[in-house]
Amino acid sequence: MRPKRPSKVTVALVQMSCVPSQEANVAKAETRIAEAASAGANIVCLQELFAGQYPCQSEDHVRFGDAEPIPGPISERIAAAAARHKVAVVGSFFERRAPGLYHNTAVIYDDDGRTAGMYRKMHIPDDPLYYEKFYFTPGDLGFNSFATKYGQIGTCVCWDQWYPEAARLTALTGAEIIFYPTAIGWHPSEKAEYGASQHSAWETMMRSHAIANGVFVAAANRTGVEGNLQFWGASFLCDPNGNVLARASHDMEETLIVECNLDKVDVVRTHWPFFRDRRVDAYGAITSRYLDQNK
């Protein structure tokens, strides 16, 4: 039987820039995992699709060649890094599930390299420079969390972070920390007018998930310029009251190292008993696309 998880765990969020060389990116991620472990991290989260430059700025069939099955060479290297450094790792991969079937997939590895769980991105965007529907099939594993040596970990991926339903369902499975591997940035032509507002909305949305569900929330974003996108970094971790415990810069590679007292989940939920007061008998309509009151 697994021993009770510690009350306090240290989380590392790796914020990287990426280059065209997949090998260089994976090697950098391995180095960052090692450095985070040396700094005392128990759980390390990598950014969305860390092994390559963000592929979805155009619809290009060539980019499917970047995908691999899970397990595959890249995911096995991350699993090995987790075991080598005795840390749990959240890794985000371009998964080739079958010929013509691809997912944007996060895998949670425990500190022995064992696969604790897998999540396939559920909400798939289709926006200028984010043409993900061309590449990824929506996930079919639902929302879940997974037991690790260092606590119950849930993960969603990037566009999922805008959906309160995703965070709530993940929290309802027992998640103490919800991780969001992310690749979000500015269109340079829009940054001056909308950049501050866009970033604020992104962070505020996830802080609200922390408050509404009484969980720690951690987002690991990429940084740097790739093609026509400037990724805005600003990876952060907030506590169950929505307080930001640490935030990275917009334009530098960083690894945030943050201690989390997981016992705070119970304390906050006891004092703000949102789960107790949910009217689960009254929410059936939430599965409707829209409630048209004129019909």
The residue assigned the tokens 């949910």 is: 278
CA distances to 74, 93, 97 from 22, in Å:
9, 12, 20
Q: Are 112 and 83 in contact (CB under 8 A)?
A: yes
Specify the pLDDT at position 257.
Answer: 98
pLDDT at 292 over 90: no
Is pTM beyond 0.75 here? Answer: yes
158 annotated active-site: yes
48 annotated active-site: yes
Rounded CA separation 113/85 (Å): 9
Catalytic residue among 158, 238, 260, 264: 158
Rounded CA separation 139/121 (Å): 5
pLDDT digits (tens, 9 = 90+) for 15-47: 999 999 999 999 999 999 999 999 999 999 999
* Confidence at 58, pLDDT banded by 50, 70, 90: very high
- The sign one gets for the Cα dihedral 194, 16, 67, 76 is negative
pLDDT at 1 over 60: no
* Confidence at 3, pLDDT banded by 50, 70, 90: low
Q: Closest Cα to residue 119, out of 144, 151, 150, 88?
A: 144
The residue assigned the tokens 């180095």 is: 31
CATH code of the region 8-287: 3.60.110.10
* Mean model confidence pLDDT for the chain: 97
Catalytic residue among 18, 28, 121, 254: 121
pLDDT digits (tens, 9 = 90+) for 255-290: 999 999 999 999 999 999 999 999 999 999 999 999
* Confidence at 294, pLDDT banded by 50, 70, 90: confident
Specify the pLDDT at position 293.
Answer: 82
Catalytic residue among 18, 28, 45, 48: 48
pLDDT digits (tens, 9 = 90+) for 178-227: 999 999 999 999 999 999 999 999 999 999 999 999 999 999 999 999 99
Mean pLDDT of 122-144: 97
133 annotated active-site: no
Specify the pLDDT at position 4.
Answer: 85
Which strands form 88-98's sheet, in the order they lie side by side? 115-120, 101-109, 88-98, 43-45, 8-15, 254-261
